[in-house]
Amino acid sequence: MLYNYGVCNVSIAPLRSEAKHIAEQISQVLFGEKVKILSDNNQGWIYVTCEWDEYHGWIKKSQLTLISKKDYLKRLHFFSTAIHDKMISAEACFLISPGSSLYQLKNNKLHWLHKDEIYHFKGKKINLAKIHPDIDT
């Protein structure tokens, strides 16, 4: 299956102007933010457009989980809101930034990070419908 979409799987990923670590950081991609993949340089970097703010730039492929168009089109329902919010699994635990997208969160669980592992969200969240009542969630 060809994947032209991804979701950030780390707390914060730098979005670079060129496909190298020393390139200017033009923005950041937060955990759970969805991106559209425009090209792959086959050296570990992917050129993307961010769904939320439409920034374009290069991100490390390892900082994305590839998803289908069907999954990309699914609506976002929740954002994290506290500085101590975290994702927990049997193998890992990491903090996520306030404002991170809790993409496909159901019963405080995420399945997309690693298909065979469930991550639990621990923290505070806000429903997007409360921020933007005009958005159908």
Who has greater pLDDT, 110 or 36?
36
Verdict on whether the full-model pTM lies above 0.85: yes
Domains of the chain: 5-72 (2.30.30.40), 78-131 (no CATH)
User: Do 34 and 73 meet the contact criterion of CB atoms below 8 Å apart?
Assistant: no
Q: Which pLDDT tens digit goes with each residue over 11-53?
A: 999 999 999 999 999 999 999 999 999 999 989 999 999 998 9
The span from the CA of 63 to the CA of 7, in Å, is 8
